[in-house]
Amino acid sequence: MVFQINFKSGMPVYLQVVDQVKAAAASGALQPGEGLPSIRPLAEELRVNRNTIAKAYSELESLGVIETLPGKGCFLKTNHSPLRKEVRRKLLTEEVDQAIVKAHHFQVPRAEFLELVNERLDALDEKRRANEEQKTN
């Protein structure tokens, strides 16, 4: 996969790598069992500190998104989250709450907000379908 680092986003660089792997996994751009670039070439290519990439990968591993096979590299795992369902729900609730607070300040009413959520879920599905088609072709 191809990573993009944006220093103007204000987000720590390692988190940008983490989020991009998560997003690629969600959209199917990265399939279970597929390998991630090794640390050294990726760090060189992005010209970021090797430790930053190592930190991102170990974070992804502790989140259960990827696994490291000794001598082979890092791969996307089939079954993502090692967390229990309630914990997953709780973590997601925090994120949803933040979006709701933002929606309030942007004066986006409930119906429009829900519509937007549906729209984004559809968009992700669409991306996933497109990625799947590309894989089968």
- Point out which residues bind other proteins (CB under 8 A): 5, 7-10, 12-13, 39-41, 43-44, 46-52, 54, 105
Please identify, using beta-carbon distances, which residue of 8 and 85 lies nearer to other proteins.
8
Q: How far is the CB of 40 from other proteins (least distance, A)?
A: 5
Indicate the residue among 39 and 63 with the shorter CB distance to other proteins.
39
- DSSP letters for the chain: ------GGG-S-HHHHHHHHHHHHHHHTSS-TTPBPPPHHHHHHHHT--HHHHHHHHHHHHHTTSEEEETTTEEEE-SS---S-HHHHHHHHHHHHHHHHHHHHHTT--HHHHHHHHHHHHHHHHHHHHHHHHHHH-
Smallest distance, other proteins to C-beta of residue 34, A: 24
Nearer to other proteins, 82 or 109 (CB): 109
Q: Closer CB to other proteins, residue 47 or residue 72? A: 47
The minimum distance between CB 41 and other proteins, in angstroms, equals: 8
